[in-house]
Structure 1
């Protein structure tokens, strides 16, 4: 428990997950090519015991990285992106202008007036097309 100025205490945050950089992930995958999973976990995360829930979780994470290996290695190869922890595609974080949002609304209303069902994914895809 943390002590406060007013005498009230606040519980510490329980969020414990850590996101690794692309360079670290590439180093882990390179080490995994020549070593076993228990040796890998012991080398990079020495506090995790074999046959624990944390070990199983870390093993699952490493195997997921293995499936994404080509993207991880390409990100780690660039000095610009090697220290990043996440990658967002270009255009994924753009905000649309009011006119663009009105265009999407008009498009949805036109589809509905013709009797076509509008799925939840359709305005999302239309917004991505407009953003590009």
Structure 2
């Protein structure tokens, strides 16, 4: 990932194969070392659909290689800031506005934020 973004979702995914885990700890501590290794210096793993929204979403969907991507740490922090920032159109933060949303709505929001900060290819809002 030394070239500059934006990237396609396929380029950011930790694996081209879909694999689910029972928890993020399982992903990191058990299978991560066997399959993926650490995210790398200056990188972190990011959940497109946030872990904090797990109430009604099965862990197997959240802790999936389809939902976890590898991105630069600074952009991960920027994404988290976007989720926390007050947004007049929601009269709340994006994170709060998504609290009762479906997995698909949360996915669309996560993809859109990644597009807005310039790490993911594509244009326009999809939510």
What TM-score bracket applies, with the shorter chain setting the length?
under 0.3
Structure having greater relative contact order (Cα 8 Å, sep ≥ 6): 2
Larger helix fraction of residues:
1
Q: TM-score, normalised by structure 1?
A: 0.23
In terms of Rg, which structure is larger?
1
